[in-house]
Amino acid sequence: MNETINFFNTQSTEDIAQFLLGMYLEHETTEGILAGYIVDAEAYLGPEDEAAHSFGLRNTPRLKAMYEKPGTIYLYTMHTHLILNMVTQEKGKPQGVMIRAIEPVEGIEKMEVNRNGRKGSELSNGPGKLVTALGITKELYGQSIFNSTLRIVPEKRKVPKKIVALPRIGIPNKGIWTELPLRYVVAGNPYISKQKRSEIDQKTFGWKEEN
DNA sequence: CAATCGATTGGCT
DNA sequence: GCCAATCGATTGC
């Protein structure tokens, strides 16, 4: 875990986004542990990034957490959906990574209930979907992804066989920032947002074989 | 499948 | 008011 914290403190946000692919993300709830592997993530490079909320060092009440230390959880609402992000750089430097999708592992039945009966990839193949599946609430805003009830567990992570970089989703008209490949996914994983069936690796789901 | 579109809430100007 | 780092239903090929 200390190595992971150090990674956040010293690496670029782009590298941290890729490092987070395969990371085990677990939420300790009153109903038990709900968890899965991160398979889709985007880097937001405020203050330079026109697509970032923190572009131009903009600082409003909802952005407060973005200016805190690395590992701080930043949540915001988008059309009734809560979206999960974590701060990646030193305090005062508002860059972060948005989690776009996870592969469910633990507490799948509870996630299906949280998602109103949906199953399979529909459980968590979008940023709003995984937040609902894991039962994440805005009480976690400003807490740390290293030691709150929502946390990453490096000991349980998997390693992607191949990482693909793509343009980010849902940010038109932002100049070069619309096209820059700041979205990273585990190639072949079925839970990636907008994944095509034909591109799914049914045998490995895109992970390296054990050992 | 891919493209399109309406729903609907909170944050900011 | 206006707009949004989305979702899900529908349409059409």
* Structure confidence at residue A211 (pLDDT): 55
- What distances in angstroms separate CA A55 from CA A47, A139, A152, one per listed residue? 4, 25, 27
* Structure confidence at residue A144 (pLDDT): 98
CA–C1' nearest nucleotide, residue A94: C5
- Other beta carbons within 10 angstroms of residue A139's beta carbon come to 11
A98 touches strand C (CB under 7 A): yes
- What distances in angstroms separate CA A13 from CA A9, A56, A139, A173, A205, one per listed residue? 10, 17, 25, 22, 25
User: Can you tell me the distance from the alpha carbon of A170 to that of A149, in angstroms, rounded to the nearest whole number?
Assistant: 29
Residue ranges, chain A, pLDDT below 70: 211
* Structure confidence at residue A209 (pLDDT): 86
Q: Show which positions of strand B are touched by protein (CB under 7 A).
A: 1-2, 7-13
Half-sphere exposure of A179 (CA within 13 A, CB side): 2
Query: Is the CB of residue A189 less than 8 Å from the CB of residue A41?
Result: no
Query: Is the CB of residue A157 less than 8 Å from the CB of residue A4?
Result: no
* Structure confidence at residue A9 (pLDDT): 86
Could you tell me the two tokens for A77? 């609402």
Quickly give A3 CA vs B2 C1' distance in Å: 43
User: Can you tell me the distance from the alpha carbon of A204 to that of A96, in angstroms, rounded to the nearest whole number?
Assistant: 29
Strand B: which residues have Cβ below 7 Å from it?
A: A 58, 60-63, 76-77, 79-80, 196-198
Count of positions (residues) in chain A: 211
Q: Show which positions of strand C are touched by protein (CB under 7 A).
A: 4-8
